[in-house]
Structure 1
């Protein structure tokens, strides 16, 4: 259960509404936003114009939601940008820069196979700081810490890391050598190693160990490279003697990208625990608040990820494929049956840590065919009794095991992790 802290789901008339998601779901010190398409809330249709106009509308919708909950755009800590064509990135950046002029959020940019509305060329979702917390927490003037290091590639439109309260959010790292500014030589193994080296450099620059990562997102231009990527990945996790003792690995999602910035084969972003908090929270020993990793036999296991990793007031759930635990194979049927199995697996994980599905604050759905969303929606709502979570849906060209759908989630964790008190 979520404990005494309340999950707050909110919507505004000034941004497009959906019966299948809340525009923003706040829990403790973060607001989780649903993906915003370039839809004019007055007409319910895609705005007229080029990708610049569409990007502007996505960000205008995000801004409307932000302002509806008495926040400002400088409170944004992370933005995900999903493009139909990576060549549009420069045009989108021109608009993007006008919305973030002071505290630049972390960012991930990826070209996907499809978006929920066929005429959309861009979609964005966001994570927002929430210093006031949610009841019964007392409002607290927490500081957002935006930091960069010379030891990782810099981007004028993305901070390396933005910390707020007990999480660091790390921008997607491309396989770029920070000394040359170019993609490293070699294939996907060398590129994966460079992405992880860049991430490690960022964490070391803020005095955070690599094993404080709770969730990793791997974006691959070709899922045929998964085995090669995993070969390198497994040399970085576990990273410390303590982590090796308990065989700790973060939760993880693998997402197929139709293209990545700079023509990269791989990029990686992460959510990282931040035990010392941000001022004026009391500085704590970051090992004092415990990362709680959990696996259950009621859902598919994977040696390279933990099913759910909790830290402070959030649980991060690894991407779930439509695998039946008994057979260890993809369930029979189409997208509807597969989505149901993904959600059953998530439910099993959620219940294994004494939570319920209504504790979920954000859902990410990746589809082989975005047209399957209607069939998926038929089963989706049956898993939730209260307000629906924030949600992002994208079409991808590939999913592991040739599945039609995969789903990951973020779950509220009101009881916190030790030594916090329930």
Structure 2
């Protein structure tokens, strides 16, 4: 029997077979990472007929099938990510989701993208609590509880909780540039909107008594990628936030994506994952306090002044999105999408190996493509890096990627050894 958590990949028969080299659920320690679910009927292997309501219903049925097949319930979902191809469909999707989560509601991110696999109009993925952990034959703490928090200092929604903590992580709903006092989008341009998004995130994390510098991962969705310089200028006034972080030069891992549209016509939306050193009850005090964030960069992969390549906390590492940039030249690699996919994965491998891990430790991969038709070519390359198809995966087609890239990849990596307590 191992004393360490193990990566546990599963493909329940009740759910649709994966349409690529990935697993439907990959558990590690106290979280299950679910692959994005499409509106596929498990019996036929085809997308269900009908419109967005029927597709959303099937997507949630598939999520439920995975969740229940691994002996969990839907209320164990702590984050739900929703991708639609038409932002006007969000209300219909929300109505279907509301029939699934009738009391407790998880945190949420909702984004419109240009295309989804198999021509679907909606896709969802979920992060699921895993109280029993994944130490083989040794349940860890099956009685851990979720801690849900909302503050009036940030926008509230009946469709989502602002933050849901479980074990050593808080998951924050993606924040729109809404003034909590008025419930309306703030006036002004993208810089004003970015400032409001980040002010809302800061209010949420301060509401759970942690500073911004406890954030380990940020995802920025823009409707116009050319706005990124203006957003970065604002972003740099929020991160680093504390004197300690400024001295260390700490920045979260980060992903930037252009969306085709965002809720309420917003120009920007920002999602955050927050470390939670004190854990959720009933973790013993001696197991809860003093965990540290461990940030790392390697020259073997492209570096950025605005993010850290990998940020570890407790039993997970969070990798910044990797573009197909040659670390030696700082330029996009020549060639087509297969060459670019290979370079993205080479960069991820370099980062993972620089922290003494292996690609077998990757539990979740997010693929962002600018042409959904490139999926097959990407899968051919991807399978050479993940021949067992172990990570759970999400694939979406977006309007544009930084630097004119055809593909961008980010990842979450298991960290069996955990991060140390302070001395």
CA deviation map 1:257-307 (0-9, x unaligned): 100000000000111000000000124697710100000000000010000
1:82 is matched with 83
SS of 1:45's partner is coil
2:104 is matched with 103
Segments of 4+ moved more than 6 angstroms: 284-287
The Cα of 1:148 is off from its aligned counterpart by: 0.5
| 1:102-181 equivalence runs, <5 A | 102-118=103-119, 120-136=120-136, 137-140=138-141, 141-181=143-183
1:248 is matched with 250
2:271 is matched with 269
CA deviation map 1:349-372 (0-9, x unaligned): 000000000100000000010100
Once residues 346 and 34 of structure 1 are traced to their aligned partners in structure 2, the CA distance between those partners, rounded to angstroms, is: 19
Once residues 45 and 231 of structure 2 are traced to their aligned partners in structure 1, the CA distance between those partners, rounded to angstroms, is: 41
SS of 1:243's partner is helix
2:12 is matched with 12
2:324 is matched with 322
SS of 1:235's partner is helix
From 213, 236, 239, the counterpart of 2:238:
236
The Cα of 1:388 is off from its aligned counterpart by: 1.8
TM-score by length of 1: 0.97
From 361, 370, 373, the counterpart of 1:368:
370
SS of 2:118's partner is coil
Check 1:212–1:285 CA distance in 2 against 1; reply closer, same or farther (3 A cut): farther
Instruction: Single out whichever of 71-80 and 378-387 deviates more from structure 2.
Output: 378-387
2:420 is matched with 418
2:298 is matched with 296
SS of 1:192's partner is helix
1:92 is matched with 93
TM-score by length of 2: 0.97
Once residues 352 and 206 of structure 1 are traced to their aligned partners in structure 2, the CA distance between those partners, rounded to angstroms, is: 33
Once residues 179 and 293 of structure 1 are traced to their aligned partners in structure 2, the CA distance between those partners, rounded to angstroms, is: 36
Check 1:333–1:373 CA distance in 2 against 1; reply closer, same or farther (3 A cut): same
SS of 2:399's partner is coil
Once residues 401 and 252 of structure 1 are traced to their aligned partners in structure 2, the CA distance between those partners, rounded to angstroms, is: 16
Q: In the alignment, is residue 58 of structure 1 matched against residue 54 of structure 2? A: no
CA deviation map 1:44-71 (0-9, x unaligned): 1111111111001000000000000000
The Cα of 1:138 is off from its aligned counterpart by: 2.6
Check 1:258–1:387 CA distance in 2 against 1; reply closer, same or farther (3 A cut): closer
Once residues 82 and 284 of structure 1 are traced to their aligned partners in structure 2, the CA distance between those partners, rounded to angstroms, is: 40
SS of 2:187's partner is coil
The answer as to whether partners of 1:322 and 1:330 remain within 8 angstroms in 2 is: yes
1:35 is matched with 36
CA deviation map 1:110-151 (0-9, x unaligned): 000110111x11000000000000014533110011111101
The Cα of 1:102 is off from its aligned counterpart by: 2.1
Once residues 289 and 421 of structure 2 are traced to their aligned partners in structure 1, the CA distance between those partners, rounded to angstroms, is: 10
2:333 is matched with 331
SS of 2:395's partner is strand
Once residues 416 and 87 of structure 2 are traced to their aligned partners in structure 1, the CA distance between those partners, rounded to angstroms, is: 39
Once residues 197 and 287 of structure 2 are traced to their aligned partners in structure 1, the CA distance between those partners, rounded to angstroms, is: 28
Once residues 140 and 385 of structure 2 are traced to their aligned partners in structure 1, the CA distance between those partners, rounded to angstroms, is: 32
2:206 is matched with 204
CA deviation map 1:54-108 (0-9, x unaligned): 0010000000000000000000000000000010011111100011112210000
Unaligned runs of 5+ in 1: none
Once residues 293 and 51 of structure 2 are traced to their aligned partners in structure 1, the CA distance between those partners, rounded to angstroms, is: 45
1:380 is matched with 382
Once residues 270 and 37 of structure 1 are traced to their aligned partners in structure 2, the CA distance between those partners, rounded to angstroms, is: 24
The answer as to whether partners of 1:276 and 1:284 remain within 8 angstroms in 2 is: no
Unaligned runs of 5+ in 2: none
